[in-house]
């Protein structure tokens, strides 16, 4: 899976992408993550990526020209062979809310996801039409019912969530908790008894029984309680 992120803050990604499972996935060549600095695709001397909105109003709007140049440098917009397996995403507060089902679906359907990290008051709306004419669909996505200052965090969330569904990324498919029980199943590790301020906090005895059938039943019951 190839991930391309178009952003005006490329430095925001380094620490996250160079750590833990994401780093291991890149080393194992299961994911290829590239961050593209939008300012490198601006042709004026001031490297201006935004401008005032027509019709007035607060804030600034990301310009369409550098975004189209960035997209063309990643995947030729006229190349039909890329269209079916490539998804172009714009992070926007009004977009479809991202969820686990979408993450799994993206991992199965696409081999390249290009993300545009929006900022300010948004992106010039003509981008949608230009991509449509080129045969690409621009999908607007939000990662939650709230507004963020930019699309950098959503891009990292999407990379993480989709990567987990790539075979081999987690080592074992069983590591996908949502495939086993859903989410929210309590987990415990050593010590068996934790003492804090004189009070004992113990691991449920059932989990120490060694009876895997009973443990499985308990976990599924816990998962249902948290749905």
Q: Within this chain, do residues 164 and 192 fall inside the same structural domain, yes or no?
A: no
Q: Within this chain, do residues 187 and 161 fall inside the same structural domain, yes or no?
A: no
Count structural domains, the chain.
2
State how beta strands 86-97 and 61-62 pair.
unpaired
Q: Within this chain, do residues 77 and 6 fall inside the same structural domain, yes or no?
A: yes
- Average model confidence (pLDDT) for the chain? 91
Give the three-state DSSP class for 50.
strand
Q: Within this chain, do residues 22 and 134 fall inside the same structural domain, yes or no?
A: yes
Q: Within this chain, do residues 55 and 129 fall inside the same structural domain, yes or no?
A: yes
Show which of 144, 173, 202 is a domain's final residue.
173
pLDDT at 103: 97
pLDDT at 176: 62
Low-confidence ranges of the chain (pLDDT < 70): 79-82, 172-183, 227
What tens digit of pLDDT does each residue of 130-152 get? 999 988 989 999 999 999 999 99
Domain with 17 in it: what CATH number? 3.40.1280.10
Q: Which residues pair with 223 in a beta bridge?
A: none
Domain with 203 in it: what CATH number? 1.10.1270
Dist CA 200 CA 28 (whole Å): 43
Q: Within this chain, do residues 159 and 217 fall inside the same structural domain, yes or no?
A: no
Peptide bond into 37 cis (omega under 30): no
Give the three-state DSSP class for 31.
coil
CB 116 within 8 A of CB 123: yes
Q: Within this chain, do residues 221 and 199 fall inside the same structural domain, yes or no?
A: yes
Tokens of 37: 């600095």
Q: Within this chain, do residues 158 and 211 fall inside the same structural domain, yes or no?
A: no
- What residue numbers bound the domain in which 202 lies? 181-225
pLDDT at 184: 73
Q: What is the pTM of this model?
A: 0.88
Q: Within this chain, do residues 75 and 163 fall inside the same structural domain, yes or no?
A: yes
Q: Within this chain, do residues 105 and 208 fall inside the same structural domain, yes or no?
A: no
Q: Within this chain, do residues 204 and 155 fall inside the same structural domain, yes or no?
A: no
pLDDT at 177: 58
pLDDT at 224: 83
Dist CA 90 CA 138 (whole Å): 7
Q: Within this chain, do residues 151 and 185 fall inside the same structural domain, yes or no?
A: no
CB 114 within 8 A of CB 71: yes
């Amino acid at each position: 899976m190839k991930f391309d992120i178009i952003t005006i803050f490329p430095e925001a990604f380094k620490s996250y992408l160079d750590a833990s499972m994401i780093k291991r996935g890149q080393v194992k060549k299961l994911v290829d993550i590239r961050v593209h600095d939008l300012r490198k695709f601006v042709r004026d001397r001031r490297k201006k990526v935004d401008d005032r909105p027509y019709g007035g109003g607060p804030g600034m709007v990301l310009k369409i020209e550098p975004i189209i140049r960035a997209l063309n440098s990643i995947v030729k917009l006229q190349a039909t062979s890329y269209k079916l397996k490539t998804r172009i995403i714009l992070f926007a507060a009004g977009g479809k809310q991202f969820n686990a089902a979408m993450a799994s679906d993206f991992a199965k359907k696409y081999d390249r996801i290009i993300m545009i990290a929006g900022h300010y008051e948004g992106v010039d709306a003509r981008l949608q039409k230009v991509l449509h004419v080129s045969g690409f669909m621009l999908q607007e996505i939000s990662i939650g019912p709230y507004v963020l200052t930019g699309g950098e965090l959503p891009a990292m969330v999407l990379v993480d969530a989709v990567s987990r569904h790539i075979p081999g990324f987690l080592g074992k498919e069983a590591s996908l908790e949502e495939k086993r029980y859903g989410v929210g199943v309590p987990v415990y590790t050593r010590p068996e008894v934790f003492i804090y301020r004189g009070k004992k906090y113990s691991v449920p005895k059932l989990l120490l029984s060694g009876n895997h059938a009973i443990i499985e039943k308990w976990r599924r019951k816990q998962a249902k309680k948290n749905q």
